[in-house]
Structure 1
Amino acid sequence: MDITTGVGLVFGIIVIATIMLLGGDLSIFLSDHAGIIVFGGSIAATMIRFPLGVMLHGLPLGAKYAFTMSRLSARDLVDELARIAEIARKQGPVGLEKVEAEDSFLAKGIRFVADGYDLEFIRDNLERDRDNFLMHLDEGSKIYRAVGDCAPAFGMVGTLIGMVQMFANMTDPSKLGPFMATALLATLYGAVLANLLCLPIADKLHGKLLDEETNRTLIIDGILMIRDSKSPTLVREMLLAYLPEKHRHEEGEPVPA
Structure 2
Amino acid sequence: MDIGTLLGILAGFGLIVGSILFGDGNIAGFFDVPSILVVVGGTMATAFIMFPMKVVFGSFKVAMNAFFSSNMDASGMIDQMVGLAEKARKESLVALEKVPIENPFIKKGITLVADGTEEPLIRAVMQTEISFMKQRHRQGQGVFKGMGTMAPAFGMIGTLIGLVKMLQNLSDPSSIGPAMAVALLTTFYGAVLANVAFLPLAKKLEERSQEEVLFMEIAMEGVVSILHGEHPQIVREKLLAFLSPALRGQD
TM range (shorter): 0.7 to 0.9
Percent identity between the aligned chains? 35
TM-score scaled to structure 2, two decimals? 0.82
Structure-2 residue corresponding to 1:118: 117
Count of residues in correspondence between the two structures = 248
Structure-2 residue corresponding to 1:183: 183
After alignment, is 71-80 or 130-139 more displaced?
71-80
Shift of 1:76: 4.0
Answer yes or no: is the 8 Å Cα contact 2:72–2:211 preserved in 1: no
1:18 partner letter: G
After alignment, is 1-10 or 171-180 more displaced?
171-180
Confirm or deny that 1:20 pairs with 2:20.
yes
Structure-1 residue corresponding to 2:192: 192
1:21 partner letter: L
1:46 partner letter: A
Structure-2 residue corresponding to 1:213: 213
Answer yes or no: is the 8 Å Cα contact 1:42–1:154 preserved in 2: yes
| SS of residue in 2 equivalent to 1:84 | helix
1:126 partner letter: M
Q: What are structure 2's unaligned runs of at least 5 residues? A: none
After alignment, is 85-94 or 182-191 more displaced?
85-94
For 2:30 and 2:223, locate their aligned partners in 1 and report how far apart those are by CA, in whole Å: 55
* Distance change (3 Å), C-alpha of 1:162 and 1:124: same
Answer yes or no: is the 8 Å Cα contact 2:65–2:205 preserved in 1: yes
| SS of residue in 2 equivalent to 1:70 | coil
Answer yes or no: is the 8 Å Cα contact 1:88–1:226 preserved in 2: yes
Confirm or deny that 1:34 pairs with 2:35.
yes
For 1:104 and 1:27, locate their aligned partners in 2 and report how far apart those are by CA, in whole Å: 52
For 1:119 and 1:7, locate their aligned partners in 2 and report how far apart those are by CA, in whole Å: 48
* Distance change (3 Å), C-alpha of 1:211 and 1:177: same
| SS of residue in 1 equivalent to 2:171 | coil
After alignment, is 125-134 or 144-153 more displaced?
125-134
Shift of 1:216: 0.8
Answer yes or no: is the 8 Å Cα contact 1:218–1:239 preserved in 2: yes
After alignment, is 144-153 or 16-25 more displaced?
16-25
Q: CA RMSD in A?
A: 2.9
For 1:193 and 1:131, locate their aligned partners in 2 and report how far apart those are by CA, in whole Å: 31
Answer yes or no: is the 8 Å Cα contact 1:113–1:223 preserved in 2: no
Structure-2 residue corresponding to 1:128: 128
Confirm or deny that 1:159 pairs with 2:163.
no
| SS of residue in 1 equivalent to 2:230 | coil
* Distance change (3 Å), C-alpha of 1:125 and 1:3: farther
Structure-1 residue corresponding to 2:59: 58
For 2:112 and 2:98, locate their aligned partners in 1 and report how far apart those are by CA, in whole Å: 9
| SS of residue in 1 equivalent to 2:25 | coil
Q: CA deviation digits over 1:188-224, x for unaligned, max 9? A: 1011101000111112222222222221111112123
Q: CA deviation digits over 1:208-250, x for unaligned, max 9? A: 2222222111111212333444321221122233234x34854
Shift of 1:175: 5.0
Q: CA deviation digits over 1:26-84, x for unaligned, max 9? A: 332211111111112222233333333432333432x0222233223444433332233
Shift of 1:124: 4.2
After alignment, is 141-150 or 69-78 more displaced?
69-78
1:204-243 correspondence to structure 2 within 5 Å: 204-243=204-243
